[in-house]
């Protein structure tokens, strides 16, 4: 099993020198002067924003309630105090305005990081994302890229009201020109976000809010990138490959441990980048195990699970020993919270499907 901390360390080393230690960000992270410290995922997002804003003054944060209030999940906590109202900007309540403005800000030479308060509220901005941000570079024959990040919390499990638990990453991954990433750990959150902010193209940055505060992990204070487009093998195994991302990584790893006790050895791949997909890692893992499954929260039909399974059968059919199973949300809207645990994949369901896959 490749150590996750190792990966992070590598990236930090590859990134070289950062801008040196910082003493002014106590509100965002209560820095232990000697080194990195354990952050939650949402704190790591905030830390990533902080360190990039500090490094590059073209980076601005905008959205609803991101300023004084520090974001409804505190993902922009203390940034307003640190960088002022011209770099941490509370906008009117208008998502198309926020994303459209961000495109314009990027065209003017800035690096906007827009927050959409919940994924369920991104649709008013869908046009600006899929018709404009995504294709500005190609329509201008390369003159104008749109280096911007659109962050949004996504996914269920936090007992939120209607429209607050959506998981529709597939909408964005189907649009050429956009990149889509989602972290499953605090350290990845900072590293992917840093890479996303530095990326010359628009990145949809999905934050699995179920695990915003689920656990802490050492997150280097230096800025570092986790490269976009690279999946992470979270657990090596030989019997079946499970592909997942975001908040579903944890129940998948739990199911994998349970199955280990039954003598079934699962490989768990956290995709991290949903567009572009890391097809090499996916196919390589599958070739090794010959069996596969996908776990995601989104409805099954038309979800990214289909793309992954299809890519595998295109590239590795001759290795395939069992149908690739999809353990996903159902083809129904995610219900109000009393039933959401029945809707979302959890360890028992994953466990059950993986066993079937191996026994096929």
Partner 1 sequence: MNAQSEVYEHHGTESDRDRLQILDEDGNVLPGAEEPSLSDEELLAMYEALVLARRFDERAISLQRQGRIATYAPMTGQEGSQVATSYALDEDDWLFPTYRDHAAKHVHGMSLSSLLAPLRGYRDGYSIPDDVNVMPEYIPIATQIPQAMGMAWGFKLQGQTDHAVMCHFGDGATSEGDFHEGLNFAGVFDVPVVFVCNNNQWAISTPRERQTKSETLAEKAHAYGIESVRVDGLDPLAVYRATREAIRKAKRPGPNEGRPTLIESVQYRFGAHTTSDDPSVYRDGEAAEWYRKRDPVDRLAGYLDGRGLLTDERETVIEARVEKRIETAIEEAEAIEAEPDDIFEHVYAEMPERLERQRERLRDLREKYGDDAFSEVLE
Ligand X SMILES: Cc1ncc(C[n+]2csc(CCOP(=O)(O)OP(=O)(O)O)c2C)c(N)n1
Q: How many residues bind its own copies (CB under 8 A)?
A: 50
41-55 and 186-198 helices cross at what angle (nearest 10)?
A: 30
Which is nearer to its own copies, 33 or 317 (by Cβ)?
317
Task: Tell me the C-alpha distance between 145 and 233, whole Å.
Answer: 32
CA-atom Rg of the chain in angstroms: 20
Among 12, 75, 88, 145, binds partner 1 (CB under 8 A): 145
Strands 59-63, 325-329: pairing kind: unpaired
> Residue 314: which of ligand X, partner 1, its own copies, none does it interact with, CB under 5 to 8 A by kind?
its own copies
How far out from the chain centre does Cα 127 lie?
21
- Smallest separation, CB 48 to partner 1 (Å): 21
Q: 301-340: which residues touch its own copies (CB under 8 A)? A: 301-307, 309-311, 313-315, 317, 320, 322-326, 330-333
Matching residue, tokens 């802490």: 216
Contacts of 177 (CB under 8 A, 6+ apart): 133, 134, 135, 136, 137, 138, 201, 202
> Residue 103: which of partner 1, ligand X, its own copies, none does it interact with, CB under 5 to 8 A by kind?
partner 1
Q: 261-290: which residues touch its own copies (CB under 8 A)? A: 275, 277
Contact between 157 and partner 1 by CB under 8 A: the answer reads: yes
Do 6 and 231 form a contact (C-beta atoms < 8 A)?
A: no
Contact between 99 and its own copies by CB under 8 A: the answer reads: no
Contact between 86 and partner 1 by CB under 8 A: the answer reads: yes
Would you give the binding string for ligand X spanning residues 163-182, x where CB under 6 A is met?
--------------------
Among 14, 26, 32, 159, binds partner 1 (CB under 8 A): 159
Task: Tell me the C-alpha distance between 322 and 151, whole Å.
Answer: 37
Binding window for its own copies (CB under 8 A); candidates: 150-158, 205-213, 293-301, 341-349: 293-301
Would you give the binding string for its own copies spanning residues 152-191, x where CB under 8 A is met?
----------xx----x-xx-xxxxx--------------
Catalytic residue among 11, 164, 296, 351: 164
Long-range contacts at 131-135 (CB < 8 A, ≥ 24 apart): 132/100, 132/103, 133/99, 133/102, 133/103, 133/177, 133/178, 133/202, 134/175, 134/176, 134/177, 134/178, 134/202, 135/176, 135/177
Instruction: Reduce the secondary structure of 143-212 to three states and give it as a string.
Output: CCCCCCEEEEEECCCCCCCCCCCCCCHHHHHCCCCCEEECCCCHHHHHHHHHHHHHCCCCEEEEEEHHHC
Binding window for partner 1 (CB under 8 A); candidates: 9-17, 173-181, 185-193, 263-271: 173-181
Task: Tell me the C-alpha distance between 227 and 278, whole Å.
Answer: 11
- For residue 112 the two structure tokens come to 């906007």
Question: Any catalytic annotation for residue 132?
Answer: no
Contact between 64 and ligand X by CB under 6 A: the answer reads: yes
Residue 287 burial (10 A CB sphere; 0-12, 13-18, 19+) = middle
Among 34, 141, 261, 317, binds partner 1 (CB under 8 A): 141
Taking phi first (over 0 means left), then psi (-120 to 50 degrees means alpha), and beta for anything else, what does residue 109 get? left
Would you give the binding string for ligand X spanning residues 110-149, x where CB under 6 A is met?
-------x---x--x-------------------------
Among 9, 126, 201, 290, binds its own copies (CB under 8 A): 126
> How many C-beta atoms surround the C-beta of residue 359 within 10 A?
9
Give me the residues paired with residue 269 across strands: 233, 243
Q: 331-350: which residues touch partner 1 (CB under 8 A)? A: 331-333, 335-344, 346-349
Contact between 319 and ligand X by CB under 6 A: the answer reads: no
Which is nearer to its own copies, 120 or 202 (by Cβ)?
120
> How many C-beta atoms surround the C-beta of residue 244 within 10 A?
27
- For residue 87 the two structure tokens come to 């770099």
Report the catalytic residues.
164
Kindly list the residues in this chain that would bind its own copies in the complex (CB under 8 A).
Answer: 96, 120, 123-124, 126-127, 130-131, 134-135, 138-139, 162-163, 168, 170-171, 173-177, 275, 277, 298-299, 301-307, 309-311, 313-315, 317, 320, 322-326, 330-333
Kindly list the residues in this chain that would bind ligand X in the complex (CB under 6 A).
Answer: 64, 93, 95, 117, 121, 124
């Amino acid at each position: 099993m490749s150590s996750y901390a190792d990966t992070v360390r590598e990236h930090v080393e590859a990134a070289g020198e950062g801008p040196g230690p910082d003493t002014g960000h106590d509100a965002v992270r209560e820095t232990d002067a000697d080194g990195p410290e354990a952050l939650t995922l949402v704190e790591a997002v905030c830390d990533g924003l902080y360190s990039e804003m500090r490094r590059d003054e073209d980076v601005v944060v905008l959205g609803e309630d991101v300023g004084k209030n520090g974001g409804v999940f505190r993902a922009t906590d203390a940034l307003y105090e640190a960088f002022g109202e011209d770099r941490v900007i509370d906008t009117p309540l208008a998502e198309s305005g926020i994303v459209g403005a961000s495109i314009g800000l990027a065209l003017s030479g800035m690096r906007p990081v827009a927050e959409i308060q919940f994924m369920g509220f991104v649709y008013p901005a869908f046009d600006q994302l899929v018709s404009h941000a995504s294709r500005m570079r190609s329509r201008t024959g390369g003159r104008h890229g749109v280096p911007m990040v659109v962050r949004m919390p996504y996914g269920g499990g936090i007992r939120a009201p209607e429209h607050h638990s959506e998981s529709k990453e597939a909408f964005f991954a189907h649009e050429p020109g956009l990149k889509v990433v989602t972290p499953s750990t605090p350290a990845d959150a900072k590293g992917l976000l840093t890479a996303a902010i530095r990326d010359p193209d628009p990145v949809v940055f999905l934050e699995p809010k179920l695990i915003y505060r689920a656990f802490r992990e050492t997150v280097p204070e230096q800025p570092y990138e986790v490269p976009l487009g690279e999946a992470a093998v979270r657990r090596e195994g030989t019997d079946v490959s499970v592909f997942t991302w975001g908040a579903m990584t944890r129940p998948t790893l739990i199911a994998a441990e349970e199955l280990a006790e039954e003598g079934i050895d699962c490989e768990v791949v956290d995709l991290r980048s949903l567009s572009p997909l890391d097809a090499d890692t996916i196919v390589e893992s599958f070739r090794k195990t010959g069996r596969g499954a996908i776990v995601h929260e989104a409805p099954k039909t038309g979800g990214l699970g289909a793309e992954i399974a299809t890519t595998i059968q295109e590239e590795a059919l001759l290795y395939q020993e069992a149908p690739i199973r999809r353990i996903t949300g159902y083809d129904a809207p995610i219900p109000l919270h009393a039933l959401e645990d029945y809707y979302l994949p959890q360890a028992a369901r994953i466990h059950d499907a993986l066993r079937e896959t191996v026994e096929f």
